[in-house]
Amino acid sequence: MALTVKVHPTVLFQIVNAYERRNLDRTAILGTLLGSVDKNSVEVTNCFVVPHSISGADGTVCIEMHLADVMYKLNKQVHPSEIIVGWWITGYEVSSIAVPINDYYARQCQNPIQLLVDTTMKTGKMNIKAFVQVDIGVPEGSQGAMFSPVSVEITQYPPEAVAMKTLQRARSIQGLVEPLAELPQVIESTVDLDEMLTVVLNYVDDVIADRVTPDNTVGRSLLKLVQAIPKMTSADMEGMMNSNIKDLLMSMYLSELTRVQIHLNEKLAMTSPNISNLQ
Amino acid sequence: MAIPHRIIRRNELGCPFEYVQMDSLAVMKIIKHCYEERSNIEVPRGGLLGLVIENRLEITNTFAFPIAKADEAVDEDYTTNMMLHMKKINQDYLHVGWYQSCDFGAFVTVEFVVAQLGYQDSIEESIVVIYDPKKTARGFLSLKAFRLTPQALKMLTENEHNITPEFVKSLHLSFDKMFLEVPIMIRNSPLASALCCQIVEMKPVDKGTQFLDLGTSSVMESRLKLLLEKVDDIHQEAYKTNKWVMQVSKQQQEKSKYIHQRNLENAARQAKGEPVLPDEDLNKIFRPIPPPSRLPQMLSSSQVEFSCQQINSFCSQALGKLFISEALQHSKAEQ
């Protein structure tokens, strides 16, 4: 069964945040995944941390089930449609404590997904993988469990995509960024567009001068690009532009006028003669 | 970044910090909550957790408020439980404010002001973050943080049911000095930045380009409609004030007429040698008419001011986009 796990960025941010705030004696932390199950995909929309401890000698794991329960109930009050779909853990590879924890979660939901987030960044990248438990072994002989990987993709709500764009800018400059006002944002993306066009033009020049072998797919996308500009006569274009500009300027003028009148109204109300006559 | 200027402004307007620093986690959680509950609840709300460090207020986590039952503004049990839990998992557990989602930034209502007043009463550094889902869906992340100015606090606490014009005048308060906007910065911890890089690889950022959309009429329609409603409200309030002024002046006239008649009668009686009529308390006959409260008018004016600012910035960027598309069209026509 081709199961895909769709993860929202919020979940990953929460996992990273919880990892940063873990108690120093832990190397890995885990928690519950919440979301909804579809026919062949699981959408993970929320998660929370569950403290756990590994007792030294025999490596038994205990998790604070009471805390997990309380948190799930609190969450249900706010997001009634989210159910437990699995659990997450940080680390580089599936560890041996995965089996008992998976058992616990198998009691809470049907087919728990294990999400493994590599916050230690062993390979220089933060790998995000998902697994499902599969029973293996000979029926009469030794049984075991294996975790088979499932594909992970990132889904975003449209406003989340917008926020991600802003957050992306925060990763370069000491981690701090100010959300842009509207016009500066358009200006910035115009600059980006300019740079992209320069790259494309250089490529085209290189191909014409035979410095680079032409690539058919690139050529086709360039053709699509040029044809994407709608075919309008310049008169039509002028007409549309002018009417739009007029509308916008009119709105700006009216809103400024309203502002001035509001201020005036306030001043006049304050200086009304009858106010001082009140006894 | 003109920091000294900001320090002076903040201190005189009663704000103990210069800016608000939000963790990317807090931003994403607010967006997610408001998006998921946009059809169920009218106004999704939630609490902010964080603490004040140096010259900024850090917001590190948020949680959503459940739907309020009956007339309770906030479910106290839920909040306490949530904060206890946060403490156990090493998150900040200080409740430093609340957030609210408002379409097109139409947030200045009486309940809003009363709620923020409650928060600022109990927690001195509390702020409210307003998230505009419609504007964000159009492509511009819209998060603003506000506080009530000290004069507004004084006006609301001392005289809650009797906000008369002279009281407002004595505080030198006008509608544009009621709210203080605190700038927001968004922060990524280094690990979160690494996560951002990973997410970009897994999902190329070709989404989130809605802001390049040229269509403006739907947004302008809703904004202007809101503006019209508020201006109507102001008009109503102005009408009420005018009516009151006329009533007071009419009452004055009747009073002076009554006094005049009294004096005439007294003079006539004195002439005849009869006892003078006793002086009656004028206030019992002519009850002073209470003036209408100034609060709704101030709130509507404030809302109109915010809406106008937003319309302006929206129009400016729409104009910019139109000029860009014109340039592209010209370059194509010239080929």
B288 inside 8 A of chain A by CB: yes
Q: What is the DSSP string of chain A?
A: ---EEEE-HHHHHHHHHHHHTS-TT-S--EEEEEEEE-SSEEEEEEEEEE-EEE-TTT--EEE-HHHHHHHHHHHHHH-TT-EEEEEEEESSS--TTHHHHHHHHHHHSSS-EEEEE-TT-TTSS--EEEEEEEEEE-SSS-EEEEEEEEEEEE---HHHHHHHHHHHHTTTSTTEE----HHHHHHHHHHHHHHHHHHHHHHHHHHHTTSS---HHHHHHHHHHHHTS----HHHHHHHHHHHHHHHHHHHHHHHHHHHHHHHHHHHHHT-GGGTT--
Give, as one character, the DSSP assignment of residue B118. Answer: H
Q: How far is residue A126 from each of residues A90, B190, B198, B313, measured CA to CA in Å?
A: 10, 12, 6, 39
Given a cut of 50, whether residue A201 has pLDDT beyond it is yes
The length of chain B in residues reads 335
Give percent of chain B above pLDDT 70. Answer: 82
Q: What is the mean pLDDT of residues A34-43?
A: 86
Given a cut of 80, whether residue B14 has pLDDT beyond it is no
Please give the pLDDT value at position B1.
Answer: 38
B166 inside 8 A of chain A by CB: yes
Please give the pLDDT value at position B13.
Answer: 60
Please give the pLDDT value at position B194.
Answer: 81
Given a cut of 60, whether residue B73 has pLDDT beyond it is no
Confidence of residue B72 (pLDDT cuts 50, 70, 90): low
Say which residue the tokens 């989130």 belong to. B208
* Lowest mean per-residue pLDDT among B5-14, B87-96, B122-131, B168-177: B5-14
**Residue A151: strand, helix, or coil:** strand
Given a cut of 50, whether residue A279 has pLDDT beyond it is no
Q: Which residue of A has its CA nearest to B169?
A: A270
Answer whether A253's CB lies under 8 Å from B146's CB: no
Confidence of residue A276 (pLDDT cuts 50, 70, 90): very low
Q: Residue A34: beta bridge partners?
A: A46, A84
- pLDDT of B24-56, one tens digit each? 888 888 888 888 877 777 778 888 888 888 888
Please give the pLDDT value at position B293.
Answer: 75
Q: Is B146 exposed, middle or buried (0-12, 13-18, 19+ CB in 10 A)?
A: buried
* Paired sense of beta strands B184-187 and B19-23, if any: parallel
CA distance B273 to chain A (A): 35
Average pLDDT, chain A: 80
Confidence of residue B5 (pLDDT cuts 50, 70, 90): very low
B136 inside 8 A of chain A by CB: yes
Answer whether A250's CB lies under 8 Å from B327's CB: no
Confidence of residue B7 (pLDDT cuts 50, 70, 90): very low
Could you give the residue ranges of the DSSP H alpha helices within chain B? 3-12, 24-36, 76-88, 110-122, 133-137, 150-158, 165-170, 190-202, 217-272, 282-285, 295-333
Given a cut of 80, whether residue B320 has pLDDT beyond it is yes
Q: Which residue of A has its CA nearest to B134?
A: A159
Instruction: Calculate the dihedral angle through the C-alpha atoms of B34, B40, B45, B48, rounding to the nearest 10 degrees.
Output: -50
- pLDDT of B244-267, one tens digit each? 888 888 888 888 888 888 888 888
B205 inside 8 A of chain A by CB: yes
B 23-52 residues with CB below 8 A of A? Answer: 23-25, 27-29, 31-37
Given a cut of 80, whether residue B166 has pLDDT beyond it is no
- pLDDT of B93-129, one tens digit each? 788 888 888 877 777 777 788 888 888 877 777 888 8
Answer whether B103's CB lies under 8 Å from B133's CB: yes
Residues of chain B with C-beta less than 8 angstroms from the C-beta of A119: 191
Residue B27 to residue B87: CA distance in whole angstroms: 20
Confidence of residue B4 (pLDDT cuts 50, 70, 90): very low
CB atoms B25 and A175 under 8 Å: no
CB atoms B193 and A175 under 8 Å: yes
Please give the pLDDT value at position A238.
Answer: 82
Residues of chain A with C-beta less than 8 angstroms from the C-beta of B329: 229, 232, 234, 237
Residue B166 to residue A24: CA distance in whole angstroms: 60
Given a cut of 70, whether residue A167 has pLDDT beyond it is yes
CB atoms A229 and B328 under 8 Å: yes
Give, as one character, the DSSP assignment of residue B69. Answer: P
Confidence of residue A273 (pLDDT cuts 50, 70, 90): low
Residues of chain A with C-beta less than 8 angstroms from the C-beta of B82: 74
Confidence of residue B209 (pLDDT cuts 50, 70, 90): low
Q: pLDDT: is A135 or B257 the higher one? A: B257
CB atoms B137 and A270 under 8 Å: no
Q: pLDDT: is A129 or B1 the higher one? A: A129
Residues of chain A with C-beta less than 8 angstroms from the C-beta of B227: 255, 258
- Measured between its terminal Cα atoms, the distance across chain B in Å is 45
Would you state the structure tokens that stand for residue A248, as one six-digit string? Answer: 């916008």
- Which amino acid, residue B316? S
Among B24, B66, B245, beta carbon nearest to A78? B66
Give percent of chain A above pLDDT 90. Answer: 0
Element (H, E) at B50: strand B45-53
Please give the pLDDT value at position B60.
Answer: 87
Please give the pLDDT value at position B43.
Answer: 78
Q: Residue B148: beta bridge partners?
A: B179
Would you state the structure tokens that stand for residue A130, as one six-digit string? Answer: 């998902």
Q: Which residue of B has its CA nearest to A124?
A: B194
Rounded to two decimals, what is the model's pTM?
Answer: 0.81
List, in order, residues 6 or more apart from B111 with CB less than 8 Å away: B73
Please give the pLDDT value at position A272.
Answer: 62
B 89-128 residues with CB below 8 A of A? Answer: 89-91
Q: What is the mean pLDDT of residues A178-195?
A: 78
Please give the pLDDT value at position A37.
Answer: 86
Residue B277 to residue B265: CA distance in whole angstroms: 8
CB atoms A179 and B165 under 8 Å: no
The angle subtended at Cα B64 by Cα A29 and Cα A170, nearest 5°, is 65
Give percent of chain A above pLDDT 70. Answer: 90
Residues of chain A with C-beta less than 8 angstroms from the C-beta of B90: 21-23
A and B: number of Cβ contacts within 8 A: 283
Residues of chain A with C-beta less than 8 angstroms from the C-beta of B141: 162-163, 165-166, 179
* Paired sense of beta strands A143-154 and B179-182, if any: unpaired
Best A227, A252, A271 member to test B by mutation, with max B CBs in 10 Å, is: A252
- Measured between its terminal Cα atoms, the distance across chain A in Å is 83
Average pLDDT, chain B: 78
Q: How far is residue A256 from each of residues A242, A263, B179, B216, B308, measured CA to CA in Å?
A: 21, 11, 20, 19, 7
Among A17, A46, A164, beta carbon nearest to B208? A164
Confidence of residue A59 (pLDDT cuts 50, 70, 90): low
Instruction: HSE, CB side, 13 Å, CA atoms: give it for residue A43.
Output: 10
- pLDDT of B220-240, one tens digit each? 888 888 888 888 888 888 888
ipTM: 0.82
Among B195, B234, B248, beta carbon nearest to A16? B195
